[in-house]
């Protein structure tokens, strides 16, 4: 595979990666939001494996498997169990859809602006996709602060970590660095498992989480 074809295919995959984050801002249904997060993890795992195939780094395959298992299966399954106990599966955002789409465009432009110094230091074949990964970081944070139910905010945090993972992957091409970012989701998954099954996590306002007893 030539460098040009690889770069174009990578940009296309990272575009799909960004699109899942934008779609999360568009949807109100919690089931759909969790499914989008799982889809994004599958795309991220594919991108990781694709870069590993190009560079010959075997560690990328292990990292891709970890992303697929944790972000694509275990965390969505845990969120799904919470959803089954939740009476309402709609999550009206603090910012309406139209304003969220405008914010998504502005945050993507911001990602292109602030990533310019990093692009010059990154591997040439992956440099053009770095702003897309960074845009997902911004969109994940935006989701985190504009969605009120705790489960939606958890999805926002997952998107943010996925974006950090993608940005680290595209910037350094190092499986070790990427594995370190994936460990953030390990901590998230463990935290979710420690939440009492009868707690108000599923439909609670974040302020209600202070009432949890471990």
Q: Tens place of pLDDT for every residue, the chain, 214 residues?
A: 678 888 889 999 999 999 999 999 998 888 999 999 999 999 999 999 999 888 888 888 888 898 899 889 988 888 888 887 776 677 777 888 899 999 999 999 999 999 998 888 888 889 999 999 999 999 999 998 998 777 888 889 899 989 998 998 898 877 677 777 777 777 777 766 665 444 444 444 545 545 544 4
Q: Which spans in the chain are helix H?
A: 3-26, 30-55, 59-69, 75-84, 97-114, 116-119, 124-127, 130-146, 150-172, 175-194
pLDDT given for residue 159 in this prediction: 93
Contacts of 3 (CB under 8 A, 6+ apart): 124, 125
Q: Is 120 exposed, middle or buried (0-12, 13-18, 19+ CB in 10 A)?
A: exposed
CA 188 to the chain's CA centroid: 13
pLDDT given for residue 41 in this prediction: 93
Distance of alpha carbon 181 from alpha carbon 177, whole angstroms: 7
- Phi first, then psi: give them for residue 90, nearest 5 degrees: -110, 140
pLDDT given for residue 203 in this prediction: 47
Residue indicated by tokens 């944790």: 70
Q: Is 9 exposed, middle or buried (0-12, 13-18, 19+ CB in 10 A)?
A: middle
């Amino acid at each position: 595979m030539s460098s040009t074809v690889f770069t174009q295919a990578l940009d296309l995959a990272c575009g799909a990666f960004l699109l899942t984050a934008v779609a999360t801002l568009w949807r109100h249904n919690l089931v759909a939001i969790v499914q989008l997060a799982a889809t994004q993890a599958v795309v991220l795992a594919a991108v990781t494996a694709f870069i590993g195939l190009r560079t010959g780094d075997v560690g990328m395959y292990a990292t891709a498997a970890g992303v697929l298992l944790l972000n694509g299966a275990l965390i969505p399954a845990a969120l799904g169990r919470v959803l089954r106990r939740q009476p309402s599966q709609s999550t009206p955002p603090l910012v309406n859809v139209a304003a969220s789409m405008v914010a998504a465009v502005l945050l993507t432009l911001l990602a292109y602006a602030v990533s310019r110094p990093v692009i010059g230091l990154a591997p040439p074949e992956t440099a053009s996709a770095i702003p897309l990964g960074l845009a997902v970081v911004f969109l994940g944070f935006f989701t985190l602060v504009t969605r009120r139910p705790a489960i939606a905010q958890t999805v926002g945090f997952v998107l943010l970590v996925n974006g950090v993972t993608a940005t680290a992957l595209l910037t350094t091409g190092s499986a070790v660095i990427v594995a370190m970012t994936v460990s953030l989701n390990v901590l998230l998954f463990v935290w979710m498992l420690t939440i009492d099954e009868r707690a108000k996590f599923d439909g609670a306002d974040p302020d209600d989480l202070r009432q949890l007893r471990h």
